[in-house]
């Protein structure tokens, strides 16, 4: 995350370590990190080879991958700049343009400026404006930066649970919610969804996740307790496999859309599945 004296991201220095814990780091250039496959991956604004070597000595670890790259390369070429959907505007915190939501995207995969997140936000705003649905509770699976929960809170959703496996995403969601004044409406949970789901009996479930995780969740009856579902995070070549994994009854497809080769579905409950 951005902390003084840093006000935006320019270059990223990435270190993936062979070590069995996420070390505590007190350094002004530290952006954040998380465990990936049980091994820490750390991000800094500047070269920290000496610090990382010391961490390895302290914890009997090694560096098995490191990189120095431009922030735009980390974001796979996606522009991290202000955008608008309906009457809602979103901007990174370093842009001075007026915005309804100001967001620190950090180094989280699928940032708030990724196409799938924008598609989910557009659908979220659309269905929140449908008074007959009366959406008051929401579950955001794969919350990332927290954008969808923040947008929902600003549009009247009263109780939102935001879940991510990534510890930095959870910390970032809490900070972004606080930055936008909606922290009282959003509860953040760090959770491995394959080891246990949060309560899914809510008005709206948003699941912006990767294909294999979605496929496994579709086979879990505990996933299908919600009323309305917005599902994304997969490309068109994966769609048929996921369609085959949906429940045979209990839900109806309201929408199937695509953007930049990414897919999004909206499903609504019609009965017991």
Query: Would you state the pLDDT for residue 273?
Result: 66
For the ranges 20-29, 178-187, 258-267, the one whose mean pLDDT is highest: 178-187
Residues 33 and 136 in one domain: no
Q: Under 8 Å CB-to-CB from 19, ≥6 apart: which residues?
A: 39, 40, 55, 56, 59, 60, 61, 62
Backbone angles phi, psi at 220, to 5 degrees: -105, 115
With 80 as the cut, is the pLDDT of residue 270 above it? Answer: yes
The answer to whether residue 256 scores a pLDDT higher than 70 is: yes
Reported as a single tens digit per residue, the pLDDT across 126-154 is 999 998 999 999 999 999 999 999 999 99
pLDDT one-digit tens code per residue, 60-119 = 999 999 999 999 888 777 778 999 998 999 999 999 999 999 999 999 976 788 889 999
> Confidence class of residue 272 from pLDDT cuts 50, 70 and 90?
confident
Residue 256 lies in a domain: yes
CATH of the domain at 220: 3.40.50.150
Tell me the average pLDDT across 210-233.
96
DSSP letter (8 states) at residue 80 = -
Cis bond before residue 5 (omega within 30° of 0): yes
Say if residue 131 is in the same domain as residue 192.
yes
Contacts of 209 (CB under 8 A, 6+ apart): 141, 142, 193, 217, 233
DSSP letter assigned to residue 238: G
Same domain, 122 and 241: yes
Q: Over the stretch 237-249, which tens digit does the pLDDT of each residue have?
A: 999 999 999 998 9
Whether residue 234 is contained in a domain is answered as yes
Q: What is the pTM of this model?
A: 0.94
In a domain, 4, yes or no: no
For position 111, what pLDDT does the model report?
78
């Amino acid at each position: 995350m951005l902390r003084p004296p840093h006000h935006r991201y320019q270059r990223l220095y990435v270190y993936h370590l062979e070590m069995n814990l996420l070390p505590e780091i007190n350094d002004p250039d530290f952006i954040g990190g998380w465990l990936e496959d049980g091994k820490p991956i750390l991000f800094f604004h500047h070269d920290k080879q000496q610090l990382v070597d010391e961490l390895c000595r302290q914890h009997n670890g090694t560096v098995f991958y490191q990189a120095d790259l431009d922030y735009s390369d980390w974001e796979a070429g996606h522009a991290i700049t202000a955008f608008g959907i309906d009457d809602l505007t979103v901007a990174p915190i370093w842009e001075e343009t007026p915005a309804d939501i100001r967001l620190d995207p950090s180094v989280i995969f699928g940032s708030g400026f990724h196409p799938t997140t924008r598609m989910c936000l557009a659908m979220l705003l659309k269905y929140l404006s449908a008074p007959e649905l009366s959406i008051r509770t929401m579950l955001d699976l794969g919350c990332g930066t927290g954008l969808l929960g923040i947008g929902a809170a600003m549009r009247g959703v009263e109780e939102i649970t935001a879940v991510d496996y990534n510890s930095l995403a959870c910390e970032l969601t809490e900070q972004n919610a606080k930055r936008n004044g909606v922290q009282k409406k959003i509860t953040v949970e760090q959770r491995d969804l394959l080891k246990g789901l949060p309560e899914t009996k809510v008005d709206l479930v948003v699941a912006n996740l990767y294909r294999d995780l979605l496929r496994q969740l579709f086979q879990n009856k505990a996933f299908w307790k919600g009323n309305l579902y917005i599902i994304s995070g997969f490309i068109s070549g994966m769609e048929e496999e996921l369609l085959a994994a949906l429940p045979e009854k209990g839900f109806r497809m309201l929408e199937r859309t695509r953007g930049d080769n990414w897919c999004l579905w909206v499903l609504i409950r019609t009965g017991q599945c």
